[in-house]
Amino acid sequence: MNRATPGGPSRPFTLVACTNCPSDVGEPVMDRLREAVRTCPHGILVATGCLGGLLHCTPAEGLHAAVQPCAKDRTPAGPVTRLGPIATEADAELVGAWLLAGMPDDGTLPHRLRAVPAPRHIAHLN
């Protein structure tokens, strides 16, 4: 993975990844995400428990995470993007490239890598 260049498109973010739910792909995928975060000057990776309250978690299919852009002082600066399932190292590389590019909303992050919100976050129809 390429290092971010000073003044490049990468912007500060906090990436929160579930390390609690068992997954066959967990460690290699986490390693790729760690590598991606290290290349971003103001990226932070937080390993946490299940994100089932935030997104529709299917651990058997891959790792789930959420990322939020923020200011350098960690103040949130945009909406949370739910990620997953991140099932392969190639998926993790795509997420890493998207983070390094500044998390653009231009289709560079494949739709299949955007997790569905948890049922309680979806408006119910009457």
**Residue 1 contacts residue 36 (beta carbons within 8 Å):** yes
Q: Collapsing DSSP states into helix, strand and coil, what is residue 84?
A: strand
Could you tell me if residue 121 is inside a domain?
Answer: no
Q: Collapsing DSSP states into helix, strand and coil, what is residue 30?
A: helix
pTM of this prediction?
0.83
**Rounded Cα gap, residues 31 and 58, in angstroms:** 20
Could you tell me if residue 111 is inside a domain?
Answer: no
Could you tell me if residue 120 is inside a domain?
Answer: no
Could you tell me if residue 8 is inside a domain?
Answer: no
Could you tell me if residue 73 is inside a domain?
Answer: yes
Q: What crossing angle do the helices spanning 89-100 and 26-39 adopt, rounded to 10°?
A: 20
Could you tell me if residue 25 is inside a domain?
Answer: yes
Q: What is the pLDDT of residues 78-125, one digit of tens each?
A: 999 999 899 999 999 999 999 999 999 898 999 999 987 766 555 555
Beta-strand runs (E) in the chain: 13-18, 43-48, 63-69, 81-86
Q: What is the pLDDT of residues 3-56, one digit of tens each?
A: 444 445 689 999 999 888 766 666 899 999 999 999 998 999 999 888 777 776
- Looking at the structure of the chain, the number of domains it has is 1
Could you tell me if residue 48 is inside a domain?
Answer: yes
Could you tell me if residue 5 is inside a domain?
Answer: no
The rounded Cα 74 to chain-centroid distance in angstroms is 16
Domain carrying residue 84: 13-104
Task: Report the CATH number at residue 76.
Answer: 3.30.360
**Residue 84 CB burial class (10 angstroms; 0-12, 13-18, ≥19):** buried
